[in-house]
Amino acid sequence: MAKPPPRINIGIDDADRAAIAGGLSKLLADTFTLYLTTHNFHWNVTGPMFNTLHLMFMEQYTELWNAVDPIAERIRSLGHHAPGSYGQFGRLGSIGDVPETPPAALDMVRKLVEGHEAVARTARSIFPLADKAGDEPTGPGANRAGAGIFQYRTRCGTVYGHTGNFPGYTQFLAATLDGERSVTFSISEQLNEDMTGRQLVVFNALRRAEETAVCAALR
Protein backbone atom coordinates (compact mmCIF):
# COMPACT_ATOMS: atom_id res chain seq x y z
CA MET A 1 0.00 0.00 0.00
CA ALA A 2 1.33 3.41 -0.97
CA LYS A 3 2.21 5.78 1.83
CA PRO A 4 0.01 8.89 2.14
CA PRO A 5 1.52 12.18 0.94
CA PRO A 6 3.68 13.85 3.60
CA ARG A 7 1.94 16.56 5.58
CA ILE A 8 3.26 20.00 4.74
CA ASN A 9 2.24 23.53 5.67
CA ILE A 10 2.82 26.07 2.90
CA GLY A 11 -0.36 28.06 3.44
CA ILE A 12 -2.47 25.99 1.03
CA ASP A 13 -4.94 23.53 2.52
CA ASP A 14 -4.84 19.81 1.75
CA ALA A 15 -7.83 19.84 -0.59
CA ASP A 16 -6.46 22.69 -2.71
CA ARG A 17 -3.00 21.15 -2.87
CA ALA A 18 -4.54 17.86 -4.01
CA ALA A 19 -6.63 19.62 -6.67
CA ILE A 20 -3.65 21.55 -8.04
CA ALA A 21 -1.42 18.46 -7.98
CA GLY A 22 -4.14 16.53 -9.79
CA GLY A 23 -4.34 19.16 -12.50
CA LEU A 24 -0.57 19.29 -12.83
CA SER A 25 -0.49 15.49 -13.13
CA LYS A 26 -2.77 15.76 -16.17
CA LEU A 27 -0.50 18.45 -17.58
CA LEU A 28 2.54 16.24 -16.98
CA ALA A 29 0.81 13.36 -18.79
CA ASP A 30 -0.08 15.53 -21.78
CA THR A 31 3.36 17.13 -21.96
CA PHE A 32 5.17 13.78 -21.80
CA THR A 33 2.88 12.22 -24.41
CA LEU A 34 3.43 15.17 -26.73
CA TYR A 35 7.19 14.86 -26.14
CA LEU A 36 7.10 11.16 -27.09
CA THR A 37 4.99 11.84 -30.18
CA THR A 38 7.34 14.61 -31.31
CA HIS A 39 10.41 12.41 -30.80
CA ASN A 40 8.70 9.60 -32.76
CA PHE A 41 8.04 11.99 -35.63
CA HIS A 42 11.66 13.20 -35.51
CA TRP A 43 12.78 9.62 -36.08
CA ASN A 44 10.22 8.70 -38.72
CA VAL A 45 9.51 11.79 -40.85
CA THR A 46 10.18 11.31 -44.56
CA GLY A 47 9.76 13.25 -47.80
CA PRO A 48 11.08 16.46 -49.35
CA MET A 49 10.66 18.38 -46.06
CA PHE A 50 12.70 15.82 -44.12
CA ASN A 51 15.61 18.05 -43.12
CA THR A 52 13.46 20.99 -42.02
CA LEU A 53 10.97 18.91 -40.05
CA HIS A 54 13.62 16.56 -38.62
CA LEU A 55 15.44 19.53 -37.08
CA MET A 56 12.26 21.32 -36.00
CA PHE A 57 10.94 18.20 -34.26
CA MET A 58 14.28 17.82 -32.47
CA GLU A 59 14.04 21.38 -31.12
CA GLN A 60 10.47 20.79 -30.02
CA TYR A 61 11.01 17.45 -28.29
CA THR A 62 14.03 18.89 -26.47
CA GLU A 63 11.89 21.78 -25.23
CA LEU A 64 9.12 19.42 -24.13
CA TRP A 65 11.57 17.07 -22.39
CA ASN A 66 12.93 19.98 -20.37
CA ALA A 67 9.39 21.12 -19.52
CA VAL A 68 8.32 17.90 -17.79
CA ASP A 69 10.76 18.16 -14.89
CA PRO A 70 9.53 21.51 -13.43
CA ILE A 71 5.94 20.24 -13.59
CA ALA A 72 6.81 17.01 -11.76
CA GLU A 73 8.86 18.87 -9.16
CA ARG A 74 6.01 21.27 -8.48
CA ILE A 75 3.72 18.30 -7.86
CA ARG A 76 6.26 16.97 -5.35
CA SER A 77 6.55 20.39 -3.68
CA LEU A 78 2.79 20.27 -3.10
CA GLY A 79 3.27 17.05 -1.15
CA HIS A 80 2.07 14.58 -3.78
CA HIS A 81 3.76 11.94 -5.92
CA ALA A 82 4.33 12.76 -9.58
CA PRO A 83 2.95 10.17 -12.02
CA GLY A 84 5.67 8.49 -14.06
CA SER A 85 4.36 5.39 -15.79
CA TYR A 86 2.85 4.93 -19.24
CA GLY A 87 -0.26 3.50 -17.59
CA GLN A 88 -0.72 6.62 -15.45
CA PHE A 89 -0.08 8.94 -18.37
CA GLY A 90 -2.61 7.04 -20.46
CA ARG A 91 -5.29 7.40 -17.77
CA LEU A 92 -4.53 11.03 -16.95
CA GLY A 93 -3.79 12.50 -20.36
CA SER A 94 -6.07 13.98 -23.00
CA ILE A 95 -3.68 13.30 -25.90
CA GLY A 96 -3.89 9.98 -27.73
CA ASP A 97 -0.98 7.56 -27.92
CA VAL A 98 1.73 7.87 -30.56
CA PRO A 99 0.45 6.32 -33.81
CA GLU A 100 2.08 2.96 -34.51
CA THR A 101 2.24 3.70 -38.23
CA PRO A 102 3.97 7.05 -38.84
CA PRO A 103 1.67 9.47 -40.72
CA ALA A 104 2.69 11.62 -43.67
CA ALA A 105 4.88 14.63 -42.90
CA LEU A 106 2.15 17.29 -42.99
CA ASP A 107 -0.17 15.04 -40.98
CA MET A 108 2.59 14.88 -38.36
CA VAL A 109 2.59 18.68 -38.21
CA ARG A 110 -1.20 18.77 -37.87
CA LYS A 111 -1.13 16.19 -35.09
CA LEU A 112 1.52 18.13 -33.19
CA VAL A 113 -0.47 21.37 -33.53
CA GLU A 114 -3.45 19.55 -32.02
CA GLY A 115 -1.19 18.24 -29.25
CA HIS A 116 0.12 21.70 -28.36
CA GLU A 117 -3.42 23.02 -28.28
CA ALA A 118 -4.40 20.19 -25.92
CA VAL A 119 -1.47 21.00 -23.61
CA ALA A 120 -2.53 24.66 -23.57
CA ARG A 121 -6.11 23.70 -22.69
CA THR A 122 -4.95 21.41 -19.89
CA ALA A 123 -2.63 24.10 -18.52
CA ARG A 124 -5.35 26.74 -18.70
CA SER A 125 -7.75 24.54 -16.74
CA ILE A 126 -5.37 24.51 -13.76
CA PHE A 127 -5.08 28.24 -13.32
CA PRO A 128 -8.45 28.77 -11.60
CA LEU A 129 -7.44 26.12 -9.03
CA ALA A 130 -4.13 27.83 -8.34
CA ASP A 131 -5.78 31.26 -8.29
CA LYS A 132 -8.41 30.13 -5.78
CA ALA A 133 -5.73 28.73 -3.48
CA GLY A 134 -3.41 31.72 -3.88
CA ASP A 135 -0.73 29.42 -5.31
CA GLU A 136 1.28 31.96 -7.28
CA PRO A 137 5.02 31.18 -7.30
CA THR A 138 7.11 33.64 -9.29
CA GLY A 139 6.93 33.01 -13.01
CA PRO A 140 8.89 34.25 -16.03
CA GLY A 141 8.18 37.77 -17.19
CA ALA A 142 5.22 39.93 -16.28
CA ASN A 143 2.70 37.19 -15.68
CA ARG A 144 1.14 35.29 -12.79
CA ALA A 145 2.58 31.81 -12.82
CA GLY A 146 2.68 28.58 -10.85
CA ALA A 147 4.69 25.62 -12.12
CA GLY A 148 4.66 27.06 -15.62
CA ILE A 149 0.91 27.85 -15.57
CA PHE A 150 0.11 31.46 -16.26
CA GLN A 151 -2.57 34.08 -16.79
CA TYR A 152 -1.15 36.54 -19.32
CA ARG A 153 -2.74 39.97 -19.70
CA THR A 154 -2.14 41.85 -22.96
CA ARG A 155 -3.63 44.88 -24.72
CA CYS A 156 -5.77 42.40 -26.67
CA GLY A 157 -7.15 40.46 -23.70
CA THR A 158 -6.16 37.69 -21.32
CA VAL A 159 -4.87 34.24 -22.22
CA TYR A 160 -4.03 31.20 -20.12
CA GLY A 161 -1.23 28.84 -20.93
CA HIS A 162 1.94 26.96 -20.18
CA THR A 163 5.48 28.28 -20.24
CA GLY A 164 8.99 26.95 -19.77
CA ASN A 165 12.15 28.88 -18.96
CA PHE A 166 15.42 27.01 -18.55
CA PRO A 167 19.05 27.46 -19.73
CA GLY A 168 19.11 28.08 -23.47
CA TYR A 169 15.38 28.18 -24.03
CA THR A 170 12.27 30.24 -23.35
CA GLN A 171 8.81 29.08 -24.49
CA PHE A 172 5.42 30.76 -24.45
CA LEU A 173 2.37 28.61 -25.24
CA ALA A 174 -1.14 29.97 -24.69
CA ALA A 175 -4.78 29.48 -25.60
CA THR A 176 -7.87 31.66 -25.40
CA LEU A 177 -10.46 30.92 -22.72
CA ASP A 178 -12.77 29.17 -25.18
CA GLY A 179 -9.90 26.99 -26.40
CA GLU A 180 -10.58 27.96 -30.01
CA ARG A 181 -7.31 29.79 -30.62
CA SER A 182 -3.75 29.11 -29.45
CA VAL A 183 -0.23 30.40 -29.98
CA THR A 184 3.28 29.05 -29.37
CA PHE A 185 6.38 31.26 -29.22
CA SER A 186 9.92 30.13 -28.45
CA ILE A 187 13.45 31.53 -28.52
CA SER A 188 16.73 29.66 -28.12
CA GLU A 189 18.12 31.92 -25.39
CA GLN A 190 17.15 32.25 -21.75
CA LEU A 191 15.93 35.75 -21.00
CA ASN A 192 14.51 37.51 -17.95
CA GLU A 193 13.70 40.99 -16.71
CA ASP A 194 16.90 41.26 -14.64
CA MET A 195 19.08 41.53 -17.74
CA THR A 196 20.70 44.79 -18.84
CA GLY A 197 22.23 46.28 -21.97
CA ARG A 198 21.85 44.33 -25.19
CA GLN A 199 20.24 41.40 -23.39
CA LEU A 200 17.53 43.70 -22.05
CA VAL A 201 16.91 45.04 -25.55
CA VAL A 202 16.51 41.48 -26.81
CA PHE A 203 14.22 40.64 -23.88
CA ASN A 204 11.97 43.62 -24.56
CA ALA A 205 11.81 42.68 -28.24
CA LEU A 206 10.78 39.16 -27.21
CA ARG A 207 8.00 40.54 -25.03
CA ARG A 208 6.70 42.65 -27.90
CA ALA A 209 6.81 39.63 -30.20
CA GLU A 210 4.94 37.58 -27.61
CA GLU A 211 2.21 40.19 -27.37
CA THR A 212 1.93 40.42 -31.15
CA ALA A 213 1.54 36.63 -31.32
CA VAL A 214 -1.10 36.66 -28.58
CA CYS A 215 -3.06 39.44 -30.27
CA ALA A 216 -2.99 37.54 -33.55
CA ALA A 217 -4.30 34.44 -31.78
CA LEU A 218 -7.09 36.36 -30.08
CA ARG A 219 -8.47 37.97 -33.23
Structural domain containing residue 188: 144-218
At residue 94, the pLDDT reads 94
Please tell me whether residue 181 adopts helix, strand or coil conformation: coil
Please tell me whether residue 94 adopts helix, strand or coil conformation: coil
Backbone φ/ψ region at 46: left (φ over 0), alpha (ψ -120 to 50), beta: beta
The total number of structural domains that make up the chain = 2
Tell me, yes or no, whether 4 lies in a domain: no
Q: Identify the helix (H) or strand (E) that includes residue 152.
A: strand 149-154
Neighbours of 174 (CB within 10 A): 28
Q: Across-strand partners of 101? A: none
Q: pLDDT tens, position by position, for the chain (219 residues)?
A: 556 655 677 677 788 888 989 999 999 999 999 999 999 999 999 988 888 889 888 888 888 888 888 888 888 888 889 999 999 999 999 999 888 899 998 889 888 888 888 888 898 888 788 777 776 552 233 333 333 445 556 666 555 554 544 444 455 555 555 556 666 666 555 555 566 677 667 666 766 776 676 677 666
Residues 137, 140, 143, 145, Cα dihedral to 10° = -30
CATH code assigned at 100: 1.20.1260.10
At residue 192, the pLDDT reads 55
